[in-house]
C-alpha cells in the first residue's frame, strides 16, 4: 500500500541536527515541515540520568555499528550512534565543547569561506543558554538559546585532584575551555541541567511538537531521495510495512549524520560511480566525495587501579578536560586529555572493576588518518561498511604516544597520590615507543565523533557547497557532522547544533526569496 503527500520541507533524521532544523523551519507557520526518524518515539529511562549513558550503548536507541577490522589482530571497533528522537544527543556523554577556533579557521584557509570560527559564532551563541554560569563571557557565549549547559555542579573528587595534578605538571587552567578560545585544563560545559540530560528533543523538538505545521513520523526508514533529473522531489520510506512516497515542493535536508547521510545519498545513486556500480546501483549524480574523508577521534589512555574506592558520579564520568598541543609546531591544540572516573579500556583487555580504577583518557583531535563509508549492498537494511583507518598515518601514532606520556606525567603528580594505585594499562614496564605503539593498537576505541563524509567545499571532491546544497542536485542539502571539512578539536555535538542553526537560517532565507534555488 502506498500513499503520497507533499510538504515544503522534508527533514531526514531526528538527531541533534534534525531536531534543530525541524524546530527552526516550523517557526514559520506557513511552512509545512515533515521530520522522518528511523528510530522510535519513546525515550529510554536511562537517557535522562547522566551517569547511566554507557548503558544506552547497544540498546534499542543505538544503531550499534562496528568498523571493519582495524588492526592485524582483527579488532573491530564499536561505533555507537543514536537511533530515535534526539539521536546521538540522547545517548552521548554530554560534553559540550566547541573545539579551538583553529579548527574552524582551517576550514576557511582550505577555501571554504564563511565557515570560520567568527562566522559560526552567532550560531553557537544561538543554541546555548549559560545564564547564571560564572566565568562565561557573553560576547562569545549564548545566554538565551534553548539548550541549557554548564559545568558540573557537584564535582567528582578524582576530577578535582586531576585538575590540581595538571597544574603541578606545569599546565595552565582554562576558565572556559568550552568557548573555543582557550587551551589548558578546566571544567567543561556539560549538556546537563538540574541533574538531567539536555538533548535535542528537550531543547528544540519537544517545545515545537504541538505546532500544527510540524509532522513527525518515527519508525520510518528512508531508503532513497527521489530525483526528477537533477531535482530532488521528495523521499521514499517504509513504516509499519507500508511504502510511502512523500513529495517536497521546497527542500529536502539530510540530517542523518556522518554515517547515515552518505549512506542515503549513495542508495539514491548520488556518489562515486565506481562504487555504486559495484553494489548494483545506477549512478544518478557522480559525486566521488560522498562517503570519503571519514574522520573520527581515536581514544586510548592510562588506566590506574585506585588506592581507595572511587565514588559513583552524578555527572557524566568525564567532567574535567584539557586541550593541549603535541608539539610547539602544531597550528592548534591536537590532543584532548580527560579524567574518567571508571577504568575505560577496550573490552577484551584486563583491568580493575568499576569503582576500583580510573583513566586518564587521551584523544587524538586532528587526525591525519581518513577513512570511508561504503555500502554493503543496494538495500537500506544492509549495514554500511565503516573503515576509519585509525592510525594509518604514522603521525597520528606519534602524537598519541606523546599524549600517553603526558597522561603518565600528570598521573604521577602528587595531587593524585591519594587515589593512585598501580598502573593497570599499559603497565609500568611499557615505556619505549614500540611498546606504546603496540598498546595503542590493542587499546583502541572510538570517541564517536564521526565527521567529514559529505564535506563542504568548492572543489570537485566536495559534496556540498558553502550553502550546504548537494552539488549537482537542486532542492537537496545536508546539515550534520558529515559536512565538516575536518573534524574539530573537541566533542562534536555543540558544533552540530551550530551547523544546523545555520542550515535552518539558509533554508528559511531561500524559502522567503523563492523556491528551490540552484544546485
Q: Do residues 199 and 191 lie in contact, with contact meaning Cβ atoms separated by under 8 Å?
A: yes
User: How far out from the chain centre does Cα 155 lie?
Assistant: 25
State how beta strands 231-239 and 242-254 pair.
antiparallel
Q: Which residue has the cell 603526558?
A: 406
| Active-site residue flag, 215 | no
d(CA 342, CA 320): 13
Helix, strand, or coil (residue 271) = strand
3-state class of 415 per DSSP? helix
Packing angle, helices 16-25 and 493-513, rounded to 10: 30
Give the whole-angstrom CA distance, residue 393 versus residue 367: 8
How far is Cα 215 from Cα 466, in angstroms, rounded to an integer?
28
Phi, psi for residue 260 in degrees, rounded to 5: -70, -40
CA distances from 12 to 18, 164, 256 (A): 7, 45, 6
CB-based contact 360:409 (threshold 8 Å): no
Strand pairing partners for 244?
A: 3, 237
d(CA 48, CA 31): 32
Cβ atoms of 411 and 403 closer than 8 Å: no
Q: State how beta strands 357-364 and 298-306 pair.
A: antiparallel
Pairing verdict, β 33-36 and 2-12: parallel
Helix residue spans in 329-418 (DSSP H):
394-411
Three cell numbers at 498? 551550530
CA distance 413 to 433: 22
Gap between the terminal Cα atoms of the chain:
33
Nearest alpha carbon to residue 493 among 258, 220, 253, 144: 258
Cα gap 106→126, rounded to integer Å: 23
Q: Return the C-alpha cell found at 178.
A: 568550552
Secondary structure (3-state) at 236? strand
Beta bridge partners of 357: 305
The single residue of 275, 402, 449, 511 carrying the catalytic annotation is 449
User: Quick one: CA dihedral 459, 462, 465, 469, positive or negative?
Assistant: positive
| Residue 110 to residue 277: CA distance in whole angstroms | 31
The residue to which cell 531536531 is assigned: 19
| Residues labelled as active-site residues | 449
Amino acid at each position: 500500500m502506498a500513499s503520497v503527500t507533499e510538504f515544503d520541507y522534508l527533514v531526514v533524521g531526528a538527531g541533534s541536527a534534525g531536531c534543530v532544523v525541524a524546530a527552526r523551519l516550523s517557526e514559520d507557520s506557513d511552512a509545512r515541515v515533515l521530520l522522518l526518524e528511523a528510530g522510535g518515539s519513546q525515550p529510554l529511562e536511562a537517557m535522562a540520568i547522566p551517569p547511566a549513558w554507557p548503558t544506552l550503548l547497544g540498546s534499542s536507541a543505538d544503531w550499534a555499528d562496528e568498523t571493519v577490522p582495524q588492526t592485524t589482530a582483527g579488532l573491530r571497533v564499536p561505533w555507537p550512534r543514536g537511533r530515535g528522537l534526539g539521536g546521538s544527543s540522547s545517548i552521548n556523554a554530554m560534553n559540550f565543547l566547541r573545539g579551538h577556533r583553529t579548527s574552524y579557521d582551517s576550514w576557511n584557509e582550505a577555501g571554504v569561506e564563511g565557515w570560520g570560527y567568527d562566522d559560526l559564532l552567532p550560531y553557537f551563541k544561538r543554541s546555548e543558554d549559560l545564564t547564571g554560569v560564572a566565568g562565561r563571557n557573553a560576547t562569545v557565549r549564548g545566554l538565551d538559546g534553548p539548550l541549557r549547559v554548564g559545568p558540573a555542579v557537584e564535582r567528582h573528587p578524582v576530577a578535582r585532584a586531576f585538575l590540581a595534578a595538571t597544574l603541578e605538571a606545569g599546565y595552565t587552567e582554562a576558565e572556559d575551555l568550552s568557548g573555543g578560545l582557550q587551551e589548558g585544563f578546566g571544567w567543561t560545559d556539560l549538556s546537563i541541567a538540574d541533574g538531567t540530560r539536555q538533548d535535542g528533543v528537550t531543547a528544540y523538538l519537544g517545545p515545537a511538537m504541538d505546532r500544527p505545521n510540524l509532522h513527525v513520523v518515527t519508525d520510518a526508514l528512508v531508503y532513497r531521495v527521489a530525483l526528477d533529473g537533477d531535482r530532488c522531489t521528495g523521499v521514499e520510506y517504509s513504516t509499519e510495512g507500508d511504502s510511502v512516497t512523500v513529495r517536497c515542493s521546497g527542500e529536502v535536508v539530510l540530517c542523518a549524520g556522518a554515517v547515515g547521510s552518505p549512506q542515503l545519498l549513495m542508495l539514491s545513486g548520488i556518489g562515486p560511480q565506481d562504487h555504486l556500480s559495484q553494489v548494483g546501483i545506477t549512478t544518478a549524480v557522480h559525486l566521488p566525495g560522498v562517503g570519503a574523508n571519514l574522520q573520527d577521534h581515536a581514544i586510548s589512555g592510562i588506566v590506574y587501579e585506585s588506592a581507595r574506592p572511587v565514588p559513583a558520579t552524578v555527572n557524566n564520568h568525564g567532567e574535567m578536560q584539557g586541550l593541549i598541543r603535541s608539539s610547539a609546531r602544531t597550528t592548534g591544540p591536537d590532543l584532548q586529555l580527560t579524567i574518567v572516573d571508571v577504568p575505560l579500556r577496550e573490552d577484551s583487555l584486563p583491568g580493575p572493576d568499576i569503582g576500583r580504577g580510573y583513566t586518564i583518557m587521551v584523544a587524538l583531535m586532528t587526525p591525519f588518518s581518513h577513512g570511508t563509508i561504503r555500502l554493503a549492498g543496494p538495500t537500506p537494511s544492509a549495514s554500511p561498511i565503516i573503515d576509519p583507518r585509525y592510525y594509518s598515518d604514522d603521525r597520528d601514532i606519534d602524537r598519541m604516544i606523546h599524549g600517553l606520556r603526558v597522561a603518565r606525567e600528570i598521573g604521577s603528580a602528587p595531587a593524585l597520590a591519594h587515589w593512585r594505585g598501580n598502573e593497570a594499562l599499559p603497565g609500568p614496564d611499557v615505556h619505549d615507543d614500540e611498546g606504546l605503539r603496540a598498546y595503542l593498537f590493542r587499546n583502541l576505541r572510538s570517541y564517536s565523533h564521526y565527521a567529514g563524509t559529505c564535506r563542504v567545499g568548492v572543489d570537485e571532491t566536495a559534496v556540498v557547497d558553502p550553502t550546504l546544497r548537494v552539488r549537482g542536485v537542486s532542492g537537496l542539502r545536508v546539515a550534520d557532522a558529515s559536512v565538516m571539512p575536518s573534524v574539530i578539536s573537541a566533542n562534536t555535538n555543540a558544533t552540530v547544533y551550530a551547523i544546523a542553526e545555520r542550515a535552518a537560517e539558509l533554508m528559511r532565507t531561500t524559502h522567503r526569496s523563492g523556491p528551490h534555488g540552484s544546485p
